[in-house]
Amino acid sequence: MLHVYEFEVFEDEGVMVALPFDMDGGTQGTDFAEACEMAADWLKIEMEHRAMRGLEFPEATFGNEPREGGRTVIVAVDAGKETVPRMTAAAAARELGVTPGRVSQMVRAGQLETFKMDGRTWLTRGSVEARKEEAPQAGRPKKAVTA
Over residues 66-94, mean pLDDT: 97
CATH architecture of 2-81: 2-Layer Sandwich (3.30)
Nearest to 32, CA basis, from 75, 77, 3, 71: 71
Burial (CB count <10 Å: 0-12, 13-18, 19+), residue 7: buried
Please state which CATH number belongs to domain 85-134.
1.10.10
Mean pLDDT of the chain: 94
Which of these, 10, 37, 7, lies nearest to 25 by C-alpha position? Answer: 7
Render pLDDT for 81-132 as a digit per residue (tens, 0 to 9). 999 999 999 999 999 999 999 999 999 999 999 999 999 999 999 999 999 9
Work out the percent of the chain whose per-residue pLDDT is above 70.
93
Taking the whole predicted model, whether its pTM rises above 0.75 is answered as yes
* Spans of all domains in the chain: 2-81, 85-134
Contact yes or no for 94/88 (Cβ under 8 A): no
Q: What is the residue-wise DSSP string for 82-126?
A: GGS-EE-HHHHHHHHTS-HHHHHHHHHTTSS-EEEETTEEEEEHH
